Structure formats: structure tokens, C-alpha cells
Amino acid sequence: MPLKYGLEQHREYLDMIERVSVRWVDMMRGDTEFYSAAYWDLLTRLWRAGRPVRKTDAHGFIMGIRSAHTAGKYLETAIREGMVSECENPDDGRSKLVSLSPDMRRRLDAFFDIAADEVRRTARRLEEKDHAVPAGVATGNGRWER
């Protein structure tokens, strides 16, 4: 299958991911323990839910971890660090509910603004590179030869 984008576009994408990753660590106040797909999955899915969810359901938010026990360790750390709040389930006394702490929700909201701005800047750079055609490299339609 022929590639849709070239080396420059791929590098621009990787550069964007790196800049966003740095901002994630910044949001975590420099604690690289939380620079992990497990915490990304857990926190962003709790953010998407926008409401408390059963604690056992939150274990399933972490895609790369199949063990409920291991997923529970990540969730317990997030609770202990104040990123996630835990409360009794008023509908089922046998279960607990978890949600993002108000502080973590604010931090994620700010992070998503920064990340969305970065996506827009990167899209503009990709568009500029797509239209900046050096002599002898362009096809008949003025586009990069891929």
C-alpha cells in the first residue's frame, strides 16, 4: 500500500506528539510516573465519562492491562495522589464510584486546550510544507511527489 504522507509529515507528527507529551508531564507537575498509557487511558476515559463510574468499570478503562488486580493498582495510586475521587455508590452498597477530582478535571481541561492548539499549529505546518514545492520536485499539479 503506498504511503499517503512522506517523511517530513511523519516527522512533523512525531514532533507534535513529543510536544504534547511534554505538556502531559507538565500537567502531572513533572512526575514522570504518570507518563504512562495506563494513566492516559484511566484519566481521559474518566474525563470523557463526565460522571462517577463504578470502580470495577474504571478498571476496564485501562486498555493495555487485562488484570483487574493490576488495573486496580493504577486506580488506587490515582486515588491516593488525589487525581481520582472515590465515594460510596448510593444505588449499590457493595460497590464504590470513582470520578476525576475537581483539580484533575481542571488540569485535564487546560491540557486539552494546549493539545488542541498544538494539533492546529501542526496542521498549519503540514499544510505549509505541502504547498512549499521546491523547483524540480513538483508534479504537474504543484504537489509534492510522494
Sign of CA dihedral 134, 137, 139, 143: negative
Q: What is the pLDDT of residues 44-62, one digit of tens each?
A: 999 999 999 999 999 999 9
> What is the set of domains in the chain, with CATH numbers?
1-35+112-132 (no CATH), 36-100 (1.10.10.10)
The model carries a pTM of: 0.83
Q: Tell me phi and psi for residue 101, to 5 degrees.
A: -70, 155
Question: How far out from the chain centre does Cα 40 lie?
Answer: 5
Tens of pLDDT along 60-97?
999 999 999 999 999 999 999 999 999 999 999 899 99
Q: Report phi then psi at 84, rounded to 5.
A: -125, 140
Place of cell 512525531: 14
